[in-house]
Structure 1
Amino acid sequence: MNVQVIMRDGEAEYAVLPWVEYQALLQEAGRTAGAQPPQAAETLPRFAHLAELRQRRGLSVEELARAVGISPAYLQLIEEGQRDPGDAIRYGLARALGINGWEESA
């Protein structure tokens, strides 16, 4: 078995193994193996498409900015790629646009 152990503060915290081997372990344990791995973060929309996502939902810059709690000017800077949103803004954008997963990986 090909297992990678991730350590933190000298203690084993995670074990990572190939998907096929994970599936085999599930089968041996009597559990139903999943057909496919969880969706990768790469399938999430990128912040480069923020303006398009906002427009598709029929929101103005002012409406989305108000929902997130930032100024419209700052939202435009994010849409133009001139600013990288922090965690709180990322969470607010994800919530306002209904995009699960942006909080962690965008």
Structure 2
Amino acid sequence: MKINGQFTQLSRITVKLASQSHRSRGYREMERFADELDLAQYQTDLMTMSAITAIRRQFEADAGRKDCRDCGAPIPQARLQHVPRAHRCTLCQERHERRSSPH
């Protein structure tokens, strides 16, 4: 069968080209580049996970806060009822929002 013979010949050529490209300098450079990208992604993932962990710890530490983060005064009970996880008294929160505002 002519088609089977052509397929077999094509397969041999493909294998030969693949083995040659594996040994080529360009292939080694591409592998090295891919390894560098993998390492960069791994480092980015580690930094991201570290930042998330730090934020979670800070959030958990502040969750039971009863005193204002900025001035240290007790956060009024009425504010805690409306905003259970408030970190600042009303006055300090307003100041914080004005400073953070892009206007």
Q: What is the TM-score of this pair, normalised by structure 1?
A: 0.25
Which has the larger share of strand? 1
Which has the larger share of helix? 2
Query: Considering only CA atoms, is the larger Rg found in Structure 1 or Structure 2?
Result: 2
